[in-house]
Amino acid sequence: MEKLEYIFDVQLLVEGNKVKLETVKKHLEQCKGDSLLVVGDDGFVKVHFHTNEPWETLKYCASMGTIHDIVIENMQKQQEDFLS
């Protein structure tokens, strides 16, 4: 079984006056991970990101506004469960 490079799938919403779509996107592009998707508008952003450090994504997004609808899934565990 192939080991995934980035184990955690992080999905969340960020809402607030300081939330700027391009700022969030540029910051997360500099982080270790892949499959980045940042959509929305200034004030409300949906983030999807694969990483090995989900707490860093949460910490950054929380500094930009209120985070909610947080989902963190271990994709490696899901793959192992599916194949067993």
CA-angle at 14, arms to 63 and 73, nearest 5°: 100
Q: In the structure, what pLDDT confidence band is assigned to residue 59 with cuts at 50, 70 and 90?
A: very high
Q: Distance between CA 61 and CA 51 in Å, rounded?
A: 14
Q: Where are the domains of the chain?
A: 8-83
* Per-residue confidence (pLDDT) for residue 1, from 0 to 100: 67
* Per-residue confidence (pLDDT) for residue 84, from 0 to 100: 82
Q: Which fold has domain 8-83?
A: Alpha-Beta Plaits (3.30.70)
Task: Read off the pLDDT of each residue in 64-70 and give the average, rounded to a whole number.
Answer: 96
Q: Distance between CA 61 and CA 19 in Å, rounded?
A: 9
Percent of the chain predicted with pLDDT > 70: 99
Q: In the structure, what pLDDT confidence band is assigned to residue 67 with cuts at 50, 70 and 90?
A: very high
Q: Distance between CA 43 and CA 41 in Å, rounded?
A: 6
Task: Read off the pLDDT of each residue in 48-77 and give the average, rounded to a whole number.
Answer: 96
